[in-house]
Every structure is written in C-alpha cells, then in structure tokens.
Amino acid sequence: MKKSYFYLILIVLSLWANKVNSQVNCVTDPPFPPVLISVSVQPETGFTILNWTLSPSPDIAAYIIYSYKNGDGLPIDTLWDPNVTSYTVTTEFSKYFSVSYVVAAMQLPRCTSILSNVLTTIYVSAAIDTCSSKIAILWNKYDPPDPTKVESYSVLYSINDGAFNELVNVNADSVSYTFENFATGQEYCFYIRANLDDGSFSTSNTDTLITLMQKPPGWINADYATVSEQNDISLSFSIDPVTDIKTFSLERKTGPSGLFQELSLFNSVSGSLNYTDENADTGKINYYRLSALNNCNIPVTVSNICSNIVLSLARDGDKLTFSWNPYEEWQGTVSSYKLFINTGRGFEEKSVIFPTDTTTTLGYKEIMYEVSGGEVCFFVSASETDNPHGINGESRSSSVCTEPTEIVTVPNVFTPDNDLVNDLFRPVLSFTPVDYHLVISDRNSNVLFDSKDYLEEWDGSRKGDPQPQGVYLWFLKVVSPSGNIISKTGTITIIRNR
C-alpha cells in the first residue's frame, strides 16, 4: 500500500514538473493535442462540423482550427474557450471537393501543441451516363480515428427537392455505386452517410443532377492556330456555353491529304479551350478541329477547321519574295495579312497585305540600313473579321530568316569643291555596323581625319584647312551585325575642279 502511495506521489510530481516546464520551454514540452473525433458536412448547407476531445494538458487557453493540405495547416479560426469541443466551418468548400482538417491546443503565451490527427470530409459526385441510362455515384472513404471504424456507407437521395431516403447500403470498402432505375427529366440529389460502429455517422456534401439527355453545343469556333515564339502551335477554341457536354476531342492531321487523328481528350471543358501542340512540325501545314463528344463518345458538334500558316522566303539578289498558305476556314473572313520584320530590335510591322494575296516582295535595300543583328527574320500574321460569334482571331505564321548582306564599298575619287556634287567622302555600307573606325592620312602619315561614326563624312580638309589635290591613304575597320570583322585599306584621290 505504501508502495502505491509512493508511485502516486511520483506521478503527481511528474505532472507538476511538466506543467512548470511547459511554462518555461514550450519547444521541449508543448501541450498535448486534442483528438479530432469527427468531421461531417451538413448536406443541406454545405457547412462542416468538427468535434474533438479536450487536450489532457493543463492551462489550455484556446483551440486553433486548421484546414490541412500537403502536410501544412492553414489556420481558420482560434476559439478562446478551454472547454470548447466543436466548431462549424461556414465556408462551402466541402461542396466542391474533399477538405482535410486538424486542431491544435494552445497554452499562453502562444504555446501551441502539434497538430491533431487529420480527418477528411466525404465528397460525393454524381454523373449521368445517358447512353447506358446509369448514374455513377462516387465518393472518398471516411477514415475516423482508432478505434472507431466505418461499418457501411448509405447512399441517400431525393427527387425534385423531396425528402431524402436511403437508396442503398454498401460495405465499408465501397467508394462508388451505380444507380440504374431512375426517372428521366427529374432532379436527383445525392449524399453519402458513413455509418460508424459506435453509432455515430459522418455525412458528405450534396450533389445534384437533372436526368436529361445532354444538350450539345450549338457551335464550336476555332479561334486560331498560331505559331508561338517557341515554335509551337498554339490553339484556341470557343464553345457555345449553352451545352451539357463536357468532353471534347482535339484532332490533327498534317497535310491536306492526311487523316485526322486524336491529339488530346479534354474533360470538364466549359466556354473555351486552349492547347499548345509542342510536337507539330511548323514547317508543314497542320489542320485541327475540335469535336464535342456525348456520353457514347460520339461527336455531336464539330468546329471549323483551323491551320497554321507556313511562310517561305526566296531571295534573288536584292529581291526578297515571301509566300504562304492562306489561313484555313475561319468562320469569318481574313481582313488582311501583315508582314513583320525583326532587324535586331524585335519584330515590328512592315507592311499590310490584301486578304486575297498570299505573296509579297520586299527590296533588301529598303531594310539594309536597319539591320543590327546577325540575321533578318520575318513572319506573316492573318486577322479575322465578321466572325458570327464576335470572336475575331489572329494567327501568326512560322518565322523565316535570311543573313544580312554585308557589303562595304569605298569610293576612290571625290571633288570637295562645294558644288554639291561628290563633295564628301565616306565608305558605303549595306548594314548598320556594330563597330566602325575610319582613318585618313597623307603620304607623310599625318592623320587628317579620324572617326568612329559611320555616318560622318570627310570634306577633304584637316581641321578646316582644305587639303591640296592629290592621293591620300585610308584605313577602315568595321564589325558587322553578324560579328564579321572587315578590315580594308586603300587610297582616295582629291580632284579640285576650281
């Protein structure tokens, strides 16, 4: 008996020591967490009710409610009541997906326990298969804390806002049920109840559907097929929002004689769809269409066909000739084509082309002095007008590039006599140089002119003093936009006519 009293005294002393330590060091001796014993969604409101046990630690000041995802808790609320054991989450997230929760106990000053066990709400979804006249009801398992177990799940339903009745009771391993004997043209609501072995239960959200045949979209608009800066083909489709169909098939064929093959299948699409075809050969014409599939996977509405624009460039001396395929099958019409050019400072619009044209030409001399990069690149864009759905598209072609012409021409005679004819001397470049240096000297190596400005011209003088008629030496060093270093020397003759 004395031994029992001795152990009892040790236990009391240990609890007292833990209390003192918890006040001194929260890190080494935090309070014990509560046990979250249930989470249950109110089917009629979508609110979630949480219940837990009190923390066995003394001096609890509050309980903190968290939502829990990927190992992290996001605080929802703090309840400053040491005796509270329930809370109602009034957000309606549980109507749309399964939500996990945890609870923590807190001592003052701000000494919080580890998070409690995790409990997750039951989320139910129902989908009708009008092809086989079945409703698929799906839910996630409920996992109460030990030693409580789920004995079974009840599927409850109502018709047209009537009272809920049990449709079926299934075993604890079930996460789905197929409902076949339903009436068409009615509103069905479903929720799940997990029946626990201690007599309690947890309920899910309510999911509602109308047992109607799917209404197909009245139209699908292929907005554009355009080549991106990454050389992929970006696609956009707009879909008649007045449709029940959520499954769509995107198909592609390469070349006009190819066969369409499914590129991707999309579920839960609503209103619009964007897709990037990273595997397309942008040097070839690729055709795309989008189909709405009913529950039997049968296409019921198909979009207009769209295709990428492939641009080609042929160069003949100074003449650049561009040609491209016309944009395919907008529901509106092509309002114009535009030619864009990148001379080293980014793409800029160069010209507007008639919508009936698929070729245009450009003289290289028109752009050669704008070139500041190692290549000159181009693309064509098409613009749509009069789209019946008010969705006017834009499509950009693939890019084509050509090397800049790098020609340096240096005159050998000029006449600086102020008659406004051949009065000034400078080299003629077919490009804008990255670096430039021109030096002119007489036969005695006296420097008469020194410039690093490719636009600066020599007037045949030295510091304003006209030089006599005769032959002078020049040295030129130029770095072209492609990085080519051009060094030249030669002579320039001054002829004075008066």
Rounded to 5°, the CA angle 132-137-138 comes to: 125
Give Cα separations from 247 to 67, 137, 216, 263, 367 (angstroms). 32, 18, 11, 14, 50
Which residue ranges make up each domain of the chain? 1-26, 31-120, 124-210, 220-307, 311-402, 408-494
pLDDT at 139: 98
Q: Residue written as tokens 């609501």? A: 189
Instruction: Classify the C-alpha dihedral 321-322-326-332 as positive or negative.
Output: negative
pLDDT at 368: 81
CB atoms within 10 A of CB 340: 18
pLDDT at 375: 86
CA 126 from centre of chain: 30
Integer Cα distance of 294 and 299 in angstroms: 7
Q: Exposed/middle/buried for 247, CB within 10 Å: 0-12, 13-18, 19+?
A: middle
Per DSSP, what are the bridge partners of residue 402? Answer: 376
Question: pTM of the full predicted structure?
Answer: 0.51
Low-confidence stretches of the chain (pLDDT beneath 70): 1-24, 213, 498
pLDDT at 498: 63
Options 3.40.710.10, 3.30.465.10, 3.40.50.2000, 2.60.40.10; which CATH number does 31-120 get?
Answer: 2.60.40.10
Options 2.60.40.10, 3.20.19.10, 2.60.120.10, 3.40.50.740; which CATH number does 311-402 get?
Answer: 2.60.40.10
Give Cα separations from 453 to 125, 241, 370, 466, 468 (angstroms). 73, 62, 16, 21, 25
pLDDT at 480: 84
CATH of domain 124-210: 2.60.40.10
Q: Exposed/middle/buried for 401, CB within 10 Å: 0-12, 13-18, 19+?
A: middle
Residue 287 CA neighbour count, 13 Å, CB half: 17
Which helix or strand (DSSP H or E) is residue 342 part of?
A: strand 333-342
- Write b or e for each residue in 208-222: b if 16 or more Cβ atoms lie within 10 A of its Cβ, otherwise e: ebebeebebbebbbb
CATH of domain 408-494: 2.60.40.1220
| 31-120 shares its CATH topology with 311-402 | yes
Integer Cα distance of 100 and 67 in angstroms: 6
359, 323 Cβ separation under 8 angstroms: yes
Biggest alpha carbon distance in the chain? 138
pLDDT at 8: 37
Q: Exposed/middle/buried for 281, CB within 10 Å: 0-12, 13-18, 19+?
A: middle
Residue 476 is encoded by which pair of tokens?
A: 């030129």
CATH of domain 220-307: 2.60.40.10
